[in-house]
């Protein structure tokens, strides 16, 4: 077990921030997370899940603890980086313009969010599935794909779960098979993208070394990936912190609160964090 102080770290807020679709609440204070083939049980002390919903993020940002049921070695070699726990998000919040009341409120409300460092391949497929979809359905489609094509694994308690299928596994899937799983028009995109990655047309490791604009352009070569989806992958997998995905929530906020444009120059290196504060605030509070 590893215990983390909830300093700008809230599993309930991360769960509902639209960046991770294999993190689920299984009780009031317990969550389960799948990342690739890894499993993690998480428990929140002091009932922070309820506190975060009742009064925004006050406790989630500064009080209580989160318990990760993993070894210290697993934490040091994977989960610490996954949750971006080496970075001070209070410093990001401190960069917010004092005159920007909206963004200050958004950060106060969702300041427990962190930008996860997720697997690039998993995020490519996840955000292809996210198009014209809602969060519960996205979760269901990811589960169906994993159960059909991923490797069967077991939790420490002996319960079965399924790893996210790799590009090679999905490249062997027929479009008709994916349509049977209710993936709809996305089936074609996933088949083509899986074959491109499995065949080496896109080098996922090379993406990690690219600058934001280059990585975004390279991702848009894949079937079914436009600018918004590419930005999501850049932010939530490649950790390109200047990526700023614009969906209907963000577009509405920009039109209302930033009619002359969002001040990206003020937030170089952390614009993606601000995007998540805005997204979560608009999603949950308005």
Contact 4, 45 (CB under 8 A): no
Look at residue 77 and give its three-state secondary structure.
helix
Q: Which residues pair with 195 in a beta bridge?
A: none
Contact in structure between 41 and 69 (CB atoms under 8 Å): yes
List Cβ neighbours of 19 (8 Å cut-off, separation of 6 or more): 115, 116, 118, 232, 235, 236, 276
Residue with tokens 């770290």: 9
Rounded distance between C-alpha atoms, residue 245 and residue 10, angstroms:
22
**Could you give the CA distance from residue 198 to residue 176 in angstroms, rounded to a whole number?**
19
CA distance readout (Å), 19 to 55, 99, 121, 135:
22, 28, 14, 10
Q: How many residues in the chain?
A: 286
Question: Is 228 an active-site residue?
Answer: yes
Choosing from 80, 104, 188, 228, the catalytic residue is: 228
As annotated, the active-site residues are 228
């Amino acid at each position: 077990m590893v215990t983390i102080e909830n300093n700008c770290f809230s599993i309930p807020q991360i769960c509902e921030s639209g960046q991770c679709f294999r993190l689920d609440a299984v009780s009031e204070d317990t969550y389960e997370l799948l990342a690739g083939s890894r499993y993690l049980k998480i428990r929140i002390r002091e009932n922070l899940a309820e506190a975060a919903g009742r009064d925004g993020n006050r406790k989630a940002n500064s009080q209580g603890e989160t318990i990760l049921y993993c070894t210290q070695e697993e934490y040091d070699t994977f989960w610490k980086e996954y949750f971006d726990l080496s970075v001070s998000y209070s410093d990001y919040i401190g960069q917010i313009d004092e005159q920007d009341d909206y963004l200050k409120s958004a950060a106060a409300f969702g300041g427990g969010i962190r930008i996860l460092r997720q697997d690039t391949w998993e995020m490519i497929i996840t955000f292809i599935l996210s198009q014209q979809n809602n969060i519960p359905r996205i979760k269901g489609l990811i589960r169906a794909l994993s159960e059909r094509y991923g490797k069967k694994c077991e939790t420490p308690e002996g319960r079965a779960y399924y790893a996210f299928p790799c590009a090679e596994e999905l490249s062997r899937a027929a479009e008709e098979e994916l349509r049977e799983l209710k993936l709809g028009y996305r089936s074609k995109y996933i088949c083509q993208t899986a074959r491109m990655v499995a065949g080496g047309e896109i080098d996922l490791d090379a993406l990690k070394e690219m600058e934001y604009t280059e990585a975004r352009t390279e991702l848009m070569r894949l079937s079914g990936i436009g600018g918004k989806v590419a930005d999501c992958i850049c932010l939530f997998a490649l950790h390109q912190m200047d990526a700023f995905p614009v969906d209907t929530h963000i577009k509405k906020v920009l039109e209302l609160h930033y009619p002359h444009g969002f001040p990206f120059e003020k937030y170089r290196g952390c614009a993606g964090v601000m995007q998540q504060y805005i997204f979560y605030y608009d999603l949950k509070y308005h």
